[in-house]
Amino acid sequence: MEKKKSNSKFLIILIVLVVLGGVYGTFKYMHSQAHEETDDAQVERNMNPIIPRVTGYVTKVYIRDNDMVKKGDTLFVIDDKDYVVRVEDAKAALAAAEGSYEVAKADIGSATAGVSVSEANIQSSQGNIEAAKVRLWRATNDFQRFENLYKNHSITKQQYEQAQATKQEAEAQLRVLQQATAASRSQRNISVSRSNVSNKQTEVASANIKRAQAALDAANLNLSYTVVTAQVDGQVSAVDIQPGQLVQPGQSLFYIISSQDAWVVANFKETQLNKMKEGQKVTITADAFPDTEFEGEITSFSPATGARFSLLPPDNATGNFVKTIQRLPVKISLTKNNDKEKVRLLRPGMNVEVDVHVK
């Protein structure tokens, strides 16, 4: 009897286990038809590196490890004495360039006035030349008449010589006026040439002003870079700088982890991607908060598998080939329906489990 009783208990237990296994297997099979899961997934956030733009010694540090900061908060200050001197030097260079420009403009005004005066003198001389030509014409005619009369002994020698002197005087006046006109033209040409030179000098002075202004802007910009501020809201990482430390441009000092956006990068096997597409709903469970489910949706797929972005990507054309299933990074954005306080606690690098609702 005891043996039959034991066999009955074993049979009942076996049947229960088979039924439970069948139910569980059926559930997993039905679930797998509408879901794709992976535990190869991590939380991501924007990590903004703090990189100085100028060289200098740190004079003061305003933050400590893991501090929360707002955009625009001062993180640390670099000694600005050298940069203040450069700004003053640039200001002096700009003032000198502006002075040269004013001198060149004054030269242009003087040369332009000289051209105007020369033009007026030329116009006046031309009028006087025309009048002198008329007087010379009249004096020449009078001289010719008096010369004929003198040959006929109709006038005295004194009258003849007086007519001759009048003619010579008119010729001399005409020559003087012509020489004055030539001198005015020469002066005008000199003034025009001087004006052209002054114009060129003005252009050069204007270019020098722009160059000096650009140098001043650059000096002011470098001076502003001595105060390093936060570019985003977030939490700083370990701050490994001290007052008196020399920092260089391009040197990554620490990070600010943005508190604005968080997302998940899940690495799915290539065999899981058949039914997945952008916009599908995703359920996310973080290892740090096992009792909280986060809601997300697929945003995008990586253009290549993770292996292709490694430092030494595999080359299947060399050596012995062993087929391995590759994984493709998939970006999953957290929706606005999530608890903001819980999302804020998600740190980059945290492990999560992802369940994509493919149906």
| Out of 12-16, 49-53, 301-305, least confident range | 12-16
pLDDT single digits (tens) 144-183: 676 666 677 666 667 666 766 777 776 677 677 666 666 6
User: DSSP letters of 84-132?
Assistant: HHHHHHHHHHHHHHHHHHHHHHHHHHHHHHHHHHHHHHHHHHHHHHHHH
Query: Which of 22, 71, 79 lies closest to 48, judged by CA?
Result: 71
| More confident of the two residues 234 and 105 | 234
Q: How far, in Å, CA of 109 to CA of 342, rounded?
A: 74
Q: Which of the four pLDDT bands, split at 50, 70 and 90, describes residue 104?
A: low
Which pTM was predicted? 0.65
| Out of 23-32, 58-67, 245-254, 323-332, least confident range | 23-32
How high is the pLDDT of residue 306?
Answer: 85
Three-class DSSP category at 333: strand
Q: How far, in Å, CA of 125 to CA of 118, rounded?
A: 10
Query: Does position 142 have pLDDT exceeding 80, yes or no?
Result: no
DSSP one-letter code for 185:
H
pLDDT single digits (tens) 125-141: 666 666 666 676 776 77
Residue count of the chain: 359
Place of tokens 């916009």: 279
3-state helix, strand, coil in the chain (%, to 5): 50, 25, 25
How high is the pLDDT of residue 73?
Answer: 94
φ and ψ of 205, to 5 deg: -65, -40
Q: How far, in Å, CA of 338 to CA of 345, rounded?
A: 12
Query: Does position 191 have pLDDT exceeding 60, yes or no?
Result: no
Cβ neighbours of residue 246 closer than 8 Å, sequence gap 6 or more: 55, 56, 57, 58
State which amino acid sits at residue 19: V
Q: How far, in Å, CA of 202 to CA of 103, rounded?
A: 8
Query: Does position 276 have pLDDT exceeding 80, yes or no?
Result: yes
Q: What percent of the chain has pLDDT over 70?
A: 70
Query: Which of 87, 80, 85 lies closest to 59, judged by CA?
Result: 80
How high is the pLDDT of residue 39?
Answer: 92
Three-class DSSP category at 187: helix
Q: Which of the four pLDDT bands, split at 50, 70 and 90, describes residue 97?
A: confident
